[in-house]
Amino acid sequence: MSVTVETAARIAPAAVIVAIDGPSGTGKSSTSKAVAAALGLSYLDTGAQYRAITWWMISNGIDVQDAAAVAVASAKPSIVSGTDPLSPAITVDGVDASGPIRTQEVTAKVSAVSAVPEVRARITELQRSIAAAAADGIVVEGRDIGTTVLPDADLKVFLTASPEARAARRNGELKGKEAADLAATKDALIKRDTADSSRKTSPLAKADDAVEVDTTELTLQQVIECVVTLVEEKQAAK
């Protein structure tokens, strides 16, 4: 039996661009990776890109509170993101940065760096070019993907959860001595959300046409299934 090109085109799911936004601890990364892997889509962790540029600033002695210095330096590092959901990779000037970008120091400083407009302009351009190159479609996770980076995304999802649930999840991710007590984790998380939501340039925000999913009472598997269904509905409608 032969499958004509026309039939194959009808069978192959249409390439979709999926934007998944929300504050930290809502299960964004785990959900985005699993959805991309399940549907054969590429994956981009935009938080990792902001963390990578923050790590470069720290490593190169730039004062992250000095927005002018951060702006000038922002063009210098070469940041390359992998898009395989099964092994997300990120390098800075050719060096694997996947470990160093997860330290408490980077986490504490990333909001200041990512609030600088020149940093956002540079990283946004990078994100758009990666999404445009993903022939089979892509899941892009972040804070401003649906509102600013990819306003024409086929599907926009905004994940939320109570601060208590988010702090408990975040504490579970931190290993060994970096795991703080729950109250401290919750305070740090709320502080970062406030900074990310109140910055002038493309703050953390839900797009008007995003589907909001409150994950407080859901298991990760339930959230994944919910988003996979939403993506499949969009693919079928394309």
Residues at the site binding ligand DC, with contacts judged by CB under 6 A: 24, 46-47, 50-51, 110-111, 114, 142-145, 192, 196
Nearer residue to ligand DC within complex by CB, 59 or 201: 201
The Cα–Cα gap between 163 and 187 comes to: 9
Measured from the CB atom, is 179 or 235 closer to ligand DC? Answer: 179
| 21 three-class SS | strand
Residue closer to ligand DC (CB basis): 24 or 215:
24
Report whether 133 contacts 12 (CB < 8 A). no
Within a 10 A sphere around the Cβ of 22, how many other Cβ atoms? 25
Residue 237: CB minimum distance to ligand DC, A: 26
Whole-angstrom Cα distance, residue 28 to residue 46?
11
Least CB distance from residue 11 to ligand DC, whole Å?
A: 34
Beta carbon of residue 145, minimum distance to ligand DC (angstroms, whole number): 6
Residues with Cβ within 8 Å of 122's Cβ and at least 6 positions away in sequence, in order, are 53, 74, 75
Angstrom distance (rounded) from CA 99 to CA 127: 21
Residues 149, 121: Cα–Cα separation, whole Å: 10
Interacting residues of 181 by C-beta distance below 8 A, sequence separation 6+: none
Name the minimum Å distance from CB 175 to ligand DC: 16
Q: Which CB atom, from 30 or from 235, has the smaller least distance to ligand DC?
A: 30
The pairing of strands 79-81 and 90-92 is antiparallel
Crossing angle of helices 117-133 and 104-114, in 10° steps, is 100
Q: Of 107 and 231, which CB lies nearer to ligand DC in the complex structure? A: 107
Shortest Cβ 150–ligand DC spacing (Å): 10
Q: How far is the CB of 20 from ligand DC (least distance, A)?
A: 10
Nearer to ligand DC, 43 or 50 (CB): 50
